[in-house]
A = this chain, B = another copy of it.
Amino acid sequence: MGNEPLIDRRSRLLGKGAPLFYREPVHIVRGDGVWLYDADGKRYVDMYNNVPCVGHANPRVVEAIAQQTATLNVHSRYLHEGILDYAERLTGHHDPALTSVVFTCSGTEASEVALLMARAATEGRGIICSDGGYHGNSTEVRKLSRFRAGDNANPEFRAIPYPQTYRPLKNDADASELTNLYLAEVQKAIDDFSANDIPLAGMFVCSIFANEGLPNIPERFMKDAATLVRNAGGLFIADEVQAGFCRTGRWWGYETSDFVPDIVTMGKPMGNGLPLAGVAAPTELVDVFREHTGYFNTFASSPLQAAVGSAVLDIIEEDDLPKSVTEVGAYLRTALRELQETHERMGDIRGHGLAIGIDWVLERESKTPDREGAADIANRIKDKGFLLSNMGSFGNMLKIRPPLVFGREHADLFLTAFEETLREL
């Protein structure tokens, strides 16, 4: 209740409805590694924030940001080697087909660039998306975000049911049949555009369907969907804003499905909190994009973005975070699956690396999503000093997505508190 005047002030200055987490919002004043501290000195293990991927207040990031700000930070219409060195390193971590980068300030701007690029390169307009994704907050990108099935307000966008095995399109389908059912939805969207004389531009989905709920993606779906899209003249755009930068234990989410997208968007963890995002694609596609748009972004491709982005790469590489993420993620999922054996409400444990979801259900058999139950857990565990959230297309997924420097010791602390929370239900 002590925060009420602060909340009132916030509503006045930022408007009512500026989103806040938790029944009683947390007033955070300091961060350090995986730890966040509130105004009363209470500390929390941050199990939600993927942006500060190398840890809150990472001293090497602080040093990079301070040093570059003290040296030079200017727009990109002068030559600067820093951004080229960074682009070279970044594309070096991607599939060899993705050779050039357009830098932006936010994931939304990256989505905008990807849409403009796909449409310029294909001369098409139609975009296939999923029915539970989120790709940003601009007028155009909102059209492929939080798409509701059957929403025909925007003729240039069609949503498919996102691929999954937990609540599949058909319950008794075997693996191969299920994949084909989801692929048929992609083909249906392609045919529907064609029937309406809307040339296809592409398909735009998160590589791991993070907002949809981190589903197990039916085998070969991504690869074969990309083929269907390409055969129809479109490009496959993978949103790696959440999946990228080793979140899954692999550098990119698309590696977990063993396919290569034509265009990749990147964001959140890229600058550890400095606004930094971008799009990687073959140089030919970037050339076409630039020719069509004359794109310029005042704050992007800057020496500051380059320095901070490079520092993040340094830390990920030198500390071998992919290895640690893989190990700690597997450890945590295994422990959660053990808990699941005796806890009916934990319907499913999914994810890769340190992107983990617990599908919270009313009971195991029906798999009925329990949004309120998941939100209740998030609030209870927050009081015990662990920050997570609930998400997914039903809002019933407990979302575990800590900084990549989250270790086994933090997992143990969480597991103890989580088990205690389960006992108290």
Contacts and interface: CB of A to CB of B under 8 A. Distances in A.
Contact of A139 (B62, B87, B138): B138
Interface stretch (A159-167, A224-232, A296-304): A296-304
A51 B75 CA distance: 9
A29 B296 CA distance: 20
Contact of A18 (B70, B76, B142): B76
A211 interface: no
A27 interface: yes
A155 interface: no
A116 B99 contact: no
Which interface class (under 10, 10 to 19, 20 to 34, 35 or more) fits A? Answer: 35 or more
A128 to B, nearest CB: 17
Number of copies of chain A assembled together: 2
Given A74-B49, A137-B112, A138-B140, A69 B79 contact: no
Given A12-B283, A84-B10, A299-B273, A77 B19 contact: yes
Interface string A256-299: 00000000000110000111000000010011011101111111
A294 B100 CA distance: 33
A interface, over-half SS: mixed
23 contacts: A13-B87, A13-B101, A14-B100, A14-B286, A15-B290, A20-B77, A21-B78, A27-B79, A29-B80, A30-B72, A51-B298, A57-B70, A57-B73, A61-B69, A65-B65, A105-B106, A105-B109, A106-B299, A109-B109, A109-B137, A137-B295, A267-B298, A274-B274
